[in-house]
């Protein structure tokens, strides 16, 4: 199939761009994106650390008293809303810990006037 | 468990060792309706924005890697092969967006009219907290998905 017969898949981006003109929408999108990025980063960091240490998912599951399938599902987004106690236990089992890191305030940040951004990080 | 299509689950984006972002497309019915966009347009703005943020995160780092902040979930049993985005709104109202993955060999993707893998957003539903969708609701979602998968090239909103 030539490029000319490929479908136009730009609607999602065009719709997002149009909706972002609404400040309330933009605020909600950016806040959600930050939260998602933090969660994703923590889970991926844990998985990378596990790989670096040469620990299988099954072994990690044993270390935190979970079954292997639940840990496998966690690392492949097949389980929603990972619980903080489990995340903390996984970090501990990998010789790491979770921390909340205060970020420098960005004057343009919509939250700069009422709270400071905080981010959880996995620190070996 | 729904049957797989030719070329499904072939990680074309990883063949080269690179993780390429996916597209996001919206299924359009034969009569021109776009159920997912009708649903999103009717959602509170904050929920609409959150759905977009999850879709963008998953499209940027597609399955099987963890993505979507824990709000993107593979479904099971009769909904096997489907993914849903799960959000909670005011009064704990539950919002769900149902998606299929368009991941296949380059040839099969081209047959579907797609240049690269994509998340196909099919439909959405909402319900009060601590209630469940009826099986007929899920069946309707699956019927829309079947209609989508029967279309070559895919019929999507543009």
With 70 as the cut, is the pLDDT of residue A92 above it? yes
Q: What is the pLDDT of residue A120?
A: 57
Label residue B10 by pLDDT band (50, 70, 90): very low
For the residues B55-81, what does the mean pLDDT come to?
A: 91
Angle, alpha carbons A104-A38-A72 (nearest 5°)? 155
Which has the minimum average pLDDT: B13-22, B95-104, B126-135?
B13-22
Which residue from B minimizes the CA distance to A28? B46
Give the pTM. Answer: 0.84
- CA distance linking residue A62 with residue A42, whole number of Å: 20
- CB under 8 Å to B148, separation ≥6 — which residues? B27, B100, B120, B122, B154, B155
With 90 as the cut, is the pLDDT of residue A104 above it? no
- Locate all alpha helices (DSSP H) within chain B, ordered by sequence: 35-42, 45-60, 106-111, 135-150
How is chain A classified by DSSP, letter by letter?
--GGGS----HHHHHHHHHTTSHHHHHHHHHHHHHHHHHHHHHHHHHHHHHHTT--HHHHHHHTT--HHHHHHHHTT-SSS--HHHHHHHHHHTT-EEEEEEPPPPTT-TTTTT---EEEEEE-
Q: What is the pLDDT of residue B1?
A: 40
What is the phi/psi pair of residue B110, to 5°?
A: -60, -40
3-state secondary structure of B96: strand
Say whether A1 and B110 touch across the interface (CB within 8 A).
yes
Does residue B122 contact residue B29 with C-beta atoms inside 8 Å?
Answer: no
Interface predicted TM-score (ipTM): 0.88
With 80 as the cut, is the pLDDT of residue A118 above it? no
Which has the minimum average pLDDT: A65-74, A108-117, B143-152?
A108-117
Q: Per CB distance under 8 Å, which residues of A are interface residues toward B?
A: 1, 3, 5-12, 15-16, 19, 22, 24-26, 28-29, 32-33, 35-40, 43-44, 47, 74-82
List of chain A residues whose C-beta atoms are within 8 Å of the C-beta of residue B74: 77-78
Say whether A75 and B66 touch across the interface (CB within 8 A).
yes
With 50 as the cut, is the pLDDT of residue B13 above it? no
Which has the minimum average pLDDT: A71-85, B45-59, B67-81, B118-132?
A71-85
Q: What is the pLDDT of residue A20?
A: 98
- CA distance linking residue A93 with residue B130, whole number of Å: 35
Q: Which of A19, A26, A77 sits opposite B66 (nearest CB)?
A: A77
List of chain B residues whose C-beta atoms are within 8 Å of the C-beta of residue A16: 52, 56
With 50 as the cut, is the pLDDT of residue A36 above it? yes
Q: Is the peptide bond before B103 cis (omega within 30 degrees of 0)?
A: no
Say whether B70 and A81 touch across the interface (CB within 8 A).
yes
Give B156→chain A minimum CA distance, Å. 8
Label residue A26 by pLDDT band (50, 70, 90): very high
With 70 as the cut, is the pLDDT of residue A97 above it? yes
- CA distance linking residue B7 with residue B106, whole number of Å: 9
For the residues B140-150, what does the mean pLDDT come to?
A: 98
Q: What tens digit of pLDDT does each residue of B29-52 get?
A: 999 999 999 999 999 999 999 999
Say whether A32 and B53 touch across the interface (CB within 8 A).
yes
Q: What is the pLDDT of residue A43?
A: 92
Give A119→chain B minimum CA distance, Å. 14
Q: What is the pLDDT of residue B121?
A: 98
Say whether B66 and A37 touch across the interface (CB within 8 A).
no
Label residue A111 by pLDDT band (50, 70, 90): low
For the residues B54-62, what does the mean pLDDT come to?
A: 95
Label residue B147 by pLDDT band (50, 70, 90): very high
- CA distance linking residue B131 with residue B134, whole number of Å: 9
Best mutation target, B51, B61, B66, to test chain A (most A CBs within 10 A) = B66
List of chain B residues whose C-beta atoms are within 8 Å of the C-beta of residue A77: 58, 63-68, 70, 72-74
Q: What is the pLDDT of residue A70?
A: 85
Tell me how crowded residue B126 is: count the other CB atoms within 10 A of its CB.
17
Burial A8-42 (b: 16+ CB within 10 A, else e): ebebbeebbeebeeeeebebbbbbbbbbbbbbbbb
Q: Is the peptide bond before A96 cis (omega within 30 degrees of 0)?
A: no
């Amino acid at each position: 199939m030539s490029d000319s017969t490929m479908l136009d898949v730009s609607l999602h981006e065009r719709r997002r761009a149009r909706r972002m003109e609404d400040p309330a929408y933009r605020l909600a999108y950016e806040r959600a994106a930050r939260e998602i990025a933090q969660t994703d980063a923590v889970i991926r960091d844990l998985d990378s650390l596990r790989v670096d240490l040469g620990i299988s998912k099954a072994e990690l599951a044993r270390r935190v008293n979970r079954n292997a399938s639940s840990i496998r599902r966690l690392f492949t987004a097949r389980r929603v809303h990972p619980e903080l106690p489990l995340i903390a236990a996984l970090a501990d089992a990998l010789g790491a810990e979770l921390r909340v890191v205060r970020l420098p305030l960005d004057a343009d940040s919509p939250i700069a006037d009422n709270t400071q951004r905080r981010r959880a990080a996995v620190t070996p | 468990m729904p049957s797989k299509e030719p070329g499904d689950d072939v990680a074309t984006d990883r063949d080269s060792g690179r993780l390429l972002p996916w597209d996001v497309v919206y299924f359009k019915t034969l009569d021109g309706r776009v159920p997912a966009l009708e649903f999103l347009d009717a959602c509170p703005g904050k929920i609409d924005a959150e759905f977009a943020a999850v879709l963008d995160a998953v499209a940027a780092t597609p399955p099987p890697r963890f993505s979507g902040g824990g709000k993107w979930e593979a479904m099971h049993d009769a909904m096997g092969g489907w993914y849903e985005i799960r959000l909670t709104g005011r009064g704990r109202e539950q919002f769900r967006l149902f998606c299929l993955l368009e991941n296949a060999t380059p040839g099969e993707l081209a047959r579907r009219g797609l240049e690269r893998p994509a998340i196909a957003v099919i439909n959405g539903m909402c319900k009060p907290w601590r209630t469940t969708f009826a099986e007929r609701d899920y069946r309707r979602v699956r019927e829309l998905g079947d209609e989508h998968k029967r279309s070559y090239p895919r019929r999507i909103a543009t």
